[in-house]
Amino acid sequence: MSILIKSVLVDGKEKDISIEGNVIDAISDPGSAKRIREAEFVLEGKNKAAIPGMFNGHTHAAMTLLRGYADDMPLHEWLSTKIWPLEARMTEDEVYWGTKLACLEMIQSGTTFFNDMYWYWEGSARAVAESGLRAMLSAVFIDGFNDEKAREQIRRNEALYEASKQLSERIIFALGPHALYTVSRESLYWVKEFSEKHDLLVHMHISETKEEVEECITRYGMRPVEFLAELELLSPRIIACHCVHLSRKEMELLKNHNVKIVHNPVSNMKLAAGRMPYEELKKAGLYPNIALGTDGCASNNNLDLFEEMKIACLVHKAGSGDPTSMSAQEAFELATSHGAHVFRLNSGVIAEGKLADIVLLDLKKVELVPNHNLVSNIVYAANGSCVDTVICDGAIVMEGRKVEGAEEITEKAQEVAYKLVSSDDSS
Amino acid sequence: MSILIKSVLVDGKEKDISIEGNVIDAISDPGSAKRIREAEFVLEGKNKAAIPGMFNGHTHAAMTLLRGYADDMPLHEWLSTKIWPLEARMTEDEVYWGTKLACLEMIQSGTTFFNDMYWYWEGSARAVAESGLRAMLSAVFIDGFNDEKAREQIRRNEALYEASKQLSERIIFALGPHALYTVSRESLYWVKEFSEKHDLLVHMHISETKEEVEECITRYGMRPVEFLAELELLSPRIIACHCVHLSRKEMELLKNHNVKIVHNPVSNMKLAAGRMPYEELKKAGLYPNIALGTDGCASNNNLDLFEEMKIACLVHKAGSGDPTSMSAQEAFELATSHGAHVFRLNSGVIAEGKLADIVLLDLKKVELVPNHNLVSNIVYAANGSCVDTVICDGAIVMEGRKVEGAEEITEKAQEVAYKLVSSDDSS
């Protein structure tokens, strides 16, 4: 497929963008693109700005089904009385529809890649394949320190990895050892070996809460990142999500092993988990390794990275007492170029030779007026509704805010969500 | 005018809402409304929910012109090198267009009332009159401790008050003594007398920053609220905006005098001003007196109260370490019924006899799906784009997201904003 985007703002200048296959072929002055007559699809870029599709670095997509189902509760009570019982009853079909709804929401808010960890990998993969988005998918690996369960999880992950090779290149298989309090040392060792052998990324919750750090100290006599270092699991392939509670030594270990970090400020605030030490991680040299995520819809409760960027800036300014902490430009980089770096994708910027994962913003939206500084407007004023058109992997997945099948997805997901919740005795 | 809204969700049940003049005349079961054939306008409410129009308790509307103009700077440098120099050059025409843009943004995000303090009162008033919104407008009263300036401000406010009587009832005149560090004791005494005599509300910045509290202690030997108590200025008519830095004694004074408070969490976070002691104010019995505001667009940078409600919840959960702090229901009340209470309007809930200031949400928007809990979705998942239709003072100001003249307003405001900034030597 070939697409020409005519006269669109790229880094403040009007340009034509030519897309061939799934790659940005050329960025040229308006009218000068040689392919102007040849492109199969021509998009009018007037009053629009092109930005990279955003990266949602950590989410549980199908949890859109639980949006608004339980809020304002203490963390443990929320998990044990609301979230886990419902998840235990979920089926692959429900995960499929929940992920479809999540993909729709992400498309509509300018996200072209997400890193997911959830139950029923195949359901998520099917939804992603249909959506046109790019995603890294991991199955929740929890063995509860049980050998039988561990063997079962290993077999399942080996099979999923094999199966994933047959799927669209937009779907990347990753390992998803849930956390140190749910996965045994032996299973983590398998994760290390398997991820090394097949060069797979490893998606893991690390030091989200104080309690989990304390539990790790009790169980292993050391802090989480220290324990992972001892296991030799730390590597550039580790996607450490949350990283709220870190010692200075742990930050150094993360840096020395070039570990990747995903920051989820909204979820951390909503569950009162704490604030990731952003300034300290920057000082430790980890800035390029930090991406941004929304977490699942039960603890956010949306998937809008525009909102996440703003709140990231706000929480660090407020938390540090310094209004210069996390600038708009930094938040934008977390959600774009850092995402590409963390997930090893040749995208995250609008440039020739990069993957054609592109978002067109509608500059006539009131939140983007006046346009003194587009990045500031994107981070501090916009929300997902400022997105007009989305291209992922060289294909148009939304144009003029229209996504194919959107109505069916919302209706069906709503139906599935109501059925799931109506079977809940506790609510 | 008469309007019938057919089969719309009101507090979880499908109802017909009849509006006569500017009042909600009847709320009845679908089809039973006697006026079904008589209403001049019939709105289809299927797949929509009716909520009260929201109250933006503190803003400087025309500052939309400065959206994104200067961010990520230390507070004093930001004000003195960026904001104040630009404001000094603003004209009434610019304030008019900036306020037009703000009104458009507020309509599109479900706000039907705002409390404003800005330069060129007449420009703001003209914009509000045309927009169809309801607003309380105060002129910035700053005398810089100069007698001549004080007399000039007093004369101006007396004249504006008289002039305001000729305007639409949607426009309410208030006094706007800027803050204790910009207004002399003598002028504050005049504010007290004049507001008592004419029963006017008094819109004031109080204890936004630590520095201003320290300055007050240096100047008057006591903290801001103590000083206002001594002046006998504390009363149910005072709208104390920010209230970030308060002693226990000051909270008691606020409570004893039934003072109203407007919370601006986004602005306080962005400028690193601190966190309003929400839990303590609640304990002091001030909960019903707390409304919500966005502050101006230079320190937010939008006017979306959906976002403000969410961030209010997040900042208090994170700040207190308690995920049950400020529930979605509380944030929703701050933005609706508390706003009505604070600004003495017979609205803020959808009920018979109340002012017809109504927002219809589009329940098919992905952020509102599934609808397990509408208030949770409104606060944690929605943004302004979920608003479909807005009625203010019994008139339809937006239908299906269409606002009359929207394109002209954004174009003209953008033009005016660029001209204003291009005359800035410092940028």
Q: What is the pLDDT confidence band of residue A423, given thresholds at 50, 70 and 90?
A: confident
Give the CATH number for residue A42. 2.30.40.10
Of B65, B324, B381, the CB nearest to A72: B324
Q: For a pLDDT cut of 70, what percent of chain B falls above it?
A: 98
Are A383 and B304 a contacting pair at CB < 8 A?
yes
Does residue B76 carry a pLDDT above 90? no
**Neighbour tally for B177: CB within 10 Å:** 28
Clarify whether residues B337 and B244 are in a common domain. yes
Does residue B33 carry a pLDDT above 70? no
In B, which residues are within 8 Å of A315 by CB distance?
269, 314-315, 318
Clarify whether residues A142 and A37 are in a common domain. no
Clarify whether residues B143 and B40 are in a common domain. no
Of B300, B311, B367, the CB nearest to A302: B367
Strand, helix or coil for residue A83: helix
- Alpha-carbon distances, residue B365 vs A69, A404, A423, B305 (angstroms): 17, 15, 25, 17
Are B268 and A318 a contacting pair at CB < 8 A?
yes
Of B322, B371, B372, the CB nearest to A272: B322
Of B71, B108, B315, the CB nearest to A380: B71
A80-109 per-position pLDDT tens digit: 999 999 999 999 999 999 999 999 999 999
B387-410 per-position pLDDT tens digit: 999 999 999 999 999 999 999 999
- Residue of chain A nearest B379, judged by CA positions: A301
Are B418 and A370 a contacting pair at CB < 8 A?
yes
- Residue of chain A nearest B102, judged by CA positions: A366
Clarify whether residues A328 and A299 are in a common domain. yes
Of B68, B369, B410, the CB nearest to A372: B68
CA-based nearest residue to B266, from B216, B204, B331: B331
pLDDT score for B427: 44
Please give, rounded to a whole number of angstroms, the shortest distance from the CA of B345 to a CA of chain A.
Answer: 28
A318-371 per-position pLDDT tens digit: 999 999 999 999 999 999 999 999 999 999 999 999 999 999 999 999 999 999
Of A311, A313, A377, the CB nearest to B68: A377
Q: What is the pLDDT confidence band of residue A315, given thresholds at 50, 70 and 90?
A: very high
Does residue B220 carry a pLDDT above 90? yes
Q: What is the mean pLDDT of chain A?
A: 96
* Cα B359 from Cα B265, distance rounded (Å): 23
Does residue A37 carry a pLDDT above 70? no
Q: For a pLDDT cut of 90, what percent of chain B falls above it?
A: 95
CA-based nearest residue to A172, from A342, A331, A2: A342
Clarify whether residues B25 and B132 are in a common domain. no
Pair type for strands B54-59 and B48-52: unpaired
**Would you say residue A353 lies in a domain?**
no
Q: Which residue range(s) make up the domain with B377?
A: 2-52+349-401
List the beta bridge partners of residue A118.
Answer: A139
**Would you say residue A8 lies in a domain?**
yes
**Would you say residue A417 lies in a domain?**
no
Of A101, A315, A317, the CB nearest to B369: A101
| pLDDT (average), residues A126-149 | 98
pLDDT score for B75: 82
Please give, rounded to a whole number of angstroms, the shortest distance from the CA of B269 to a CA of chain A.
Answer: 5
- Residue A76 burial by CB count (10 A; 0-12/13-18/19+): exposed, middle or buried? exposed
CA-based nearest residue to A117, from A155, A78, A62, A188: A62
**Would you say residue A354 lies in a domain?**
no
Clarify whether residues B146 and B111 are in a common domain. yes
Give the CATH number for residue A97. 3.20.20.140
ipTM rounded to 2 decimals: 0.97
- Residue of chain A nearest B299, judged by CA positions: A380
Does residue B268 carry a pLDDT above 70? yes
Is residue B89 within 8 A of residue B135, CB to CB? The reply is no
In B, which residues are within 8 Å of A274 by CB distance?
318
- Residue of chain B nearest A377, judged by CA positions: B68
Of B270, B364, B414, the CB nearest to A317: B270
| pLDDT (average), residues A129-136 | 98
pLDDT score for A424: 60
Indicate the number of domains in chain A. 2
CA pseudo-torsion sign B28, B31, B36, B40: positive
Distance spanning both ends of chain A, measured CA to CA: 49
pLDDT score for A427: 44
Clarify whether residues B98 and B232 are in a common domain. yes
CA pseudo-torsion sign B44, B48, B52, B56: negative
Structure tokens at B206: 């109080």
- Residue A28 burial by CB count (10 A; 0-12/13-18/19+): exposed, middle or buried? middle
Is residue A4 within 8 A of residue A43, CB to CB? The reply is yes
In B, which residues are within 8 Å of A371 by CB distance?
68, 414
Does residue A117 carry a pLDDT above 90? yes
* Cα B73 from Cα B78, distance rounded (Å): 6
Q: What is the pLDDT confidence band of residue B425, given thresholds at 50, 70 and 90?
A: low
In A, which residues are within 8 Å of B274 by CB distance?
318
Q: What is the pLDDT confidence band of residue A176, given thresholds at 50, 70 and 90?
A: very high
List the beta bridge partners of residue A175.
Answer: A202
Q: How many CB pairs under 8 A join A and B?
A: 211
Does residue B336 carry a pLDDT above 60? yes
Are A74 and B104 a contacting pair at CB < 8 A?
no
Is residue B58 within 8 A of residue B264, CB to CB? The reply is yes
Clarify whether residues A75 and A24 are in a common domain. no
Please give, rounded to a whole number of angstroms, the shortest distance from the CA of A220 to a CA of chain B.
Answer: 27
A304-321 residues labelled b (16+ CB within 10 A) or e (exposed): bbbbbbbbbbbbbbbbbe
B35-63 per-position pLDDT tens digit: 555 889 999 999 999 999 999 999 999 99
pLDDT score for B37: 59
pLDDT score for B410: 98
Clarify whether residues B331 and B364 are in a common domain. no
Are A301 and B73 a contacting pair at CB < 8 A?
no
Does residue A303 carry a pLDDT above 70? yes
- Please enumerate in sequence order all residues whose Cβ is within 8 A of that of A37, keeping only pairs 6 or more positions apart, or say none: none
- Residue of chain B nearest A311, judged by CA positions: B311
* Cα A88 from Cα A59, distance rounded (Å): 18
Are B381 and A297 a contacting pair at CB < 8 A?
yes
* Cα B185 from Cα B196, distance rounded (Å): 17
Are B367 and A322 a contacting pair at CB < 8 A?
no
**Would you say residue B410 lies in a domain?**
no
Clarify whether residues A260 and A308 are in a common domain. yes
Longest CA pairwise span in chain B (Å): 67
Using the 3D structure, point to which of A314, A342, A370 is the last residue of a domain.
A342
| pLDDT (average), residues B341-364 | 98
* Cα A408 from Cα A401, distance rounded (Å): 16
Are B377 and A69 a contacting pair at CB < 8 A?
no
**Would you say residue A426 lies in a domain?**
no
Clarify whether residues A28 and A161 are in a common domain. no
| pLDDT (average), residues B359-368 | 98
Backbone Cα Rg of chain A = 21
A370 preceded by a cis bond (ω within 30 of 0) = yes
- Residue B160 burial by CB count (10 A; 0-12/13-18/19+): exposed, middle or buried? middle
Q: For a pLDDT cut of 90, what percent of chain A falls above it?
A: 95
User: Which residue out of B71, B77, B105, B310 would a mutagenesis test of the A interface target, given it has the greatest number of A Cβ atoms within 10 Å?
Assistant: B71
Are A104 and B414 a contacting pair at CB < 8 A?
no
* Cα B326 from Cα B313, distance rounded (Å): 5
Is residue B331 within 8 A of residue B19, CB to CB? The reply is no
**Would you say residue A390 lies in a domain?**
yes
| pLDDT (average), residues B240-255 | 98
Are A366 and B108 a contacting pair at CB < 8 A?
yes
- Residue of chain B nearest A365, judged by CA positions: B410
Is residue A409 within 8 A of residue A101, CB to CB? The reply is yes
Is residue B48 within 8 A of residue B283, CB to CB? The reply is no
Clarify whether residues A58 and A168 are in a common domain. yes
Please give, rounded to a whole number of angstroms, the shortest distance from the CA of B19 to a CA of chain A.
Answer: 29
Is residue B302 within 8 A of residue A381, CB to CB? The reply is yes
| pLDDT (average), residues B254-276 | 98
| pLDDT (average), residues A227-244 | 98
Are B270 and A418 a contacting pair at CB < 8 A?
no
In B, which residues are within 8 Å of A68 by CB distance?
370-374, 376-377, 380-381
Q: What is the pLDDT confidence band of residue A54, given thresholds at 50, 70 and 90?
A: very high
Of B311, B325, B369, the CB nearest to A413: B369
In A, which residues are within 8 Å of B406 by CB distance?
366
pLDDT score for B423: 77
**Would you say residue B420 lies in a domain?**
no
User: Which residue out of A100, A101, A303, A372 would a mutagenesis test of the B interface target, given it has the greatest number of B Cβ atoms within 10 Å?
Assistant: A372
Q: At what angle do helices A406-422 and A92-108 cross, to 10 degrees?
A: 130
- Alpha-carbon distances, residue B52 vs A416, B289, B337, B372, B374 (angstroms): 30, 18, 8, 20, 13
**Neighbour tally for B104: CB within 10 Å:** 25
Of A72, A320, A328, the CB nearest to B328: A72
**Neighbour tally for A89: CB within 10 Å:** 11
- Residue of chain A nearest B311, judged by CA positions: A311
Are A372 and B275 a contacting pair at CB < 8 A?
no
